[in-house]
Amino acid sequence: MSDPDLVRIGSGTLAAALALRGAELWSLLLDGEERLWHGDPAWWDYRAPLLFPTIGRSVDETVTVDGRPFPMPLHGFARDLPFAVAEAGPDRVTLVQTSDAKTREMFPFDYRLTVGAWVDGASLGMSSTVENTSGRPMPFCFGYHPGFMWADDEDERARFVCRFGHAEDSPVRRARMSTGLLLAEREPCPVEGRTLALNDGLFSRGSIQFERLHSRSVWFGRPGGTGLTVSFPDCPHLGIWTRPGAPFLCIEPWQGFAAEEGGPQELALRPGAMVLEPGAKATFPLALTFGTADPGA
């Protein structure tokens, strides 16, 4: 994708840029070094999109609401539509997207999606709030999808791990590669205790999707060193993904999943979907903190 209009914030240590298209985090420079995936289209041309009002694929790119079909692109539409700047300062910004005639063709509700971002030292905080401004209950999913720089060399990539905040042993889910739809069957959790040893083979069948997650933080780095901590206190689900051979890793806190193969197309019945009553809000905080010590050392 071509460079969009950007808004920049920073501290003395960390400089961030967010795109007005999709409120997508576009750059994270730690002491001048880029830590966010740069969107090379040879691998993946996004960087850190926001996923709303769906996550993943929908059957025939369609969802139903009260039995009526509506077109729905991969990961929803918010990531490709503009946000407006509500507030801005040297170290923080608030961006807002609201429903309009175009969004109601895909999602027959009025909503407000507010994304705040701020920088403090070596940490970027975000807070995304979904508000139902309709007069009826509104089903939706929401997710973060940031990609982080990994390593070009396969052997070097295999030296990295993810450390979870708690031991994880619940079965995980996958999506069918050909359709992107969530498979009904589960498979054994690849995490040993709190540690997921990373390698390209883990992702030969796509993302690893954690449905019953105990942790609300994940550390990413080389064992015994310093790395990145991703904290997501109010997202109950998680995806970890890359394309095999690619030099980036996505750590994706979610509320919800793709449509399930053979399951209902009704959005309110999608796995992990939330339903907001009229006037209600749901907020999803995220923190990215660099230079944190390996919690497993």
Full set of structural domains in the chain with CATH: 6-293 (2.70.98.10)
Could you tell me the two tokens for 253? 């806190």
Peptide bond before residue 53 is cis, with ω within 30 degrees of 0: yes
Give the global pTM. Answer: 0.97
Euclidean distance between CA atoms 130 and 197, whole angstroms: 34
Q: What is the pLDDT of residues 112-166, one digit of tens each?
A: 999 999 999 999 999 999 999 999 999 999 999 999 999 999 999 999 999 999 9
Query: Once rounded to an integer, what is the mean pLDDT over residues 207-212?
Result: 97
Establish how many alpha carbons lie within 13 A of residue 242's alpha carbon, considering only the half-sphere containing its beta carbon: 23
Number of H helices, E strands in the chain: 2, 24
What is the predicted pLDDT for the residue at 3? 62
The H or E element spanning position 238 is strand 237-241
- CA 79 to centroid of chain Cα atoms: 11
Euclidean distance between CA atoms 15 and 4, whole angstroms: 17
Would you say residue 282 has pLDDT above 70? yes
For the ranges 2-16, 114-128, 250-264, the lowest mean pLDDT is seen at 2-16
Euclidean distance between CA atoms 174 and 94, whole angstroms: 34
How close are the terminal C-alpha atoms of the chain, in Å? 39
